[in-house]
Structure 1
Amino acid sequence: MGLIRLLILAAVVYLGWRLARRLLNASGGASGGGRDAAPRSEKMIKCRQCGVHVPEGESFRHRGLAFCSQEHQRLYLERHEL
């Protein structure tokens, strides 16, 4: 009889944990591992120095030109003297 009570208690704890996790994910309180989150879409921009495409948010800008790094920005500006 004790084993049945233990199994029922374990099932109740498990179901309560699943319910709490689902409620937190629905309210945006917890990330849940990122599986349910929609992937962010970001425009890719080509570096003027090397041609590598980088996300717009990670690019370095100068007078409308985009670069993948500050080093490439510096090299391009030295070469083209803008």
Structure 2
Amino acid sequence: MNLLLIRLIIFAVLFFAGLKLYRMYREWKLDREGQLEDASHQEGNQMVRCSWCQVHVPESEALREQGEWFCSSAHRDRYLQEQRPEE
């Protein structure tokens, strides 16, 4: 009877230790995947310079007109007005 109880305690300890190791592995794996995802996300977002005010903005937020980058539609309109020849 005592041997059965000892085996049961050893089994329970090994089970909980294995469960703890599995959770640690899963957390490490999720952290690693998150870091790789963050790195790939940062690489794809290039910075461009506004042709009017020279401020750098992410390419995804910038406006492009006639091959030039702009941080806002107001700066785009001002830049294009200055580029047009006076009639």
TM-score normalised per structure 1: 0.56
Unmatched segments (≥5 aa) in structure 1: none
Cα deviations by residue, 1:12-32 (Å, 9 ceiling, x for unpaired): 21222234456xx5xxxx675
Please name the residue that 1:14 is paired with: 20
> SS at the partner of 1:66?
strand
Query: What is the percentage of aligned positions where both structures have the same residue?
Result: 29
User: 1:6/1:48 Cα in 2 relative to 1: closer, same or farther (>3 Å)?
Assistant: same
Unmatched segments (≥5 aa) in structure 2: 1-5
Give the whole-Å Cα distance in 1 for the aligned partners of 2:46 and 2:53. Answer: 18
Amino acid across the alignment from 1:35 = Q
How far 1:11 sits from its partner (Å)? Answer: 1.9
Number of residue-to-residue matches in the alignment: 76
RMSD over aligned CA atoms reads 3.4
Look at both structures and tell me which one has the larger radius of gyration over its CA atoms.
2
